[in-house]
Amino acid sequence: MPAAPHISLWHWAGFVCCILVMLALDLGVFHRSARVVRFREAVGWTLLWACLAMLFAGYIYRFQNAENAALFVTGYIVEVSLSMDNVFVIALIFRYFQVDTRHQHRVLFWGILGALVMRGALICGGSLLVAQWKWLLEVLGAFLVFTGVKMLVTDSDGVHPERNPIIRLARRFCPITPDYVGQQFVARWDNVLALTPLAIVLIMVETTDLVFATDSLPAIFGVTQDAFIIFTSNVFAILGLRSLYFLLAEALDCFSHLKYGLSLVLVFIGIRMIAGNRLHIPTNITLITVAGIILGSILLSVLLARRGRKPRE
């Protein structure tokens, strides 16, 4: 297979500029005022971001080759799947802090913007480390296997802001208004600028994404070490997270068995990383396996939910 064309700095800059323009349109035009995101709108935005991701995969196919396009799609599916687990935690955070549904999109927008910057830095650092020390892939693979098994046998114990060190620091050194002030993160209270409870929610969302990034980023490094594919697949998955939240937040019980699928995906990719060149698994097989596991766990969850069966503890 001929070598894929080189990704230059212009490709990176062009992609980032396009994303910034879409984000500006999102917040400045489509969601300028606080309002509730309805189910039909969430479906439309979810389909839009998924279609844009597949169009980008088509661009990679034409500009580079089918192998890299398949790697992008695989990475995108892995990131979207793990983002669905993140959706459940965000729903718990919003319920815990009783965030008005009109203001949830704004929190997700700025949370995801911060996640893009944070993950971009992690991907850059991770790519440099893996390029320097290849044996790190096996370490990350072992970590994924451990994480997958842990996810399989343990349950989440809810939301605990008091355990979050960043929130503890914010509460210690920054004044916080006693009540929400619309969709503002900072407001004047007792003649000083103070954080609002909505800012605390934003901090919880950001730190939650940081925790989830410790699973998702090693997983995608197990798919490919191409920094451009890793970054772009992450971006499309994260951008679709907002609409995915509003699509799934009211139907969390229908995905009670998804975590089993996610754990199997992590274990599969972890074993693939540990095996390395000793056990070559073609990209297409990896793509089919990951997609099959996720779709299977979703279908199982939906079928059991419709039959009224309780999920296994």
222/238 Cα distance (integer angstroms): 19
pLDDT of 240 above 50: yes
Q: Are 213 and 122 in contact (CB under 8 A)?
A: yes
Which are the contacts of 3, defined by CB distance < 8 A and separation ≥ 6? none
Three-state SS at 185: coil
Mean pLDDT of 279-288: 80
10 Å Cβ neighbour count for 306?
A: 9
Q: What are phi and psi of 225, to 5 degrees?
A: -110, 10
Torsion on CA atoms 291, 216, 257, 142, rounded to nearest 10: 100
Tens digits of residue pLDDT in 203-225: 888 888 887 777 777 888 888 88
Mean pLDDT of the chain: 81
Q: What are phi and psi of 251, to 5 degrees?
A: -130, 35
CA distances from 60 to 68, 281, 303 (A): 7, 21, 36
Torsion on CA atoms 119, 120, 121, 125, rounded to nearest 10: 100
The residues facing 195 across adjacent strands are 176, 186
Q: What confidence category does residue 27 fall into, taking pLDDT thresholds of 50, 70 and 90? A: low
Which class for 62: exposed (0-12), middle (13-18), buried (19 or more C-beta within 10 A)? exposed
pTM of the model: 0.81
Nearest partner of 161 among 94, 105, 212, judged by Cα: 94
Q: What are phi and psi of 189, to 5 degrees?
A: -145, 125
pLDDT of 64 above 70: yes
Please report the pLDDT score of residue 271 as a whole number.
87
Nearest partner of 83 among 202, 201, 208, judged by Cα: 208
Please report the pLDDT score of residue 311 as a whole number.
47
Domain ranges of the chain: 9-306
DSSP state of 250: G
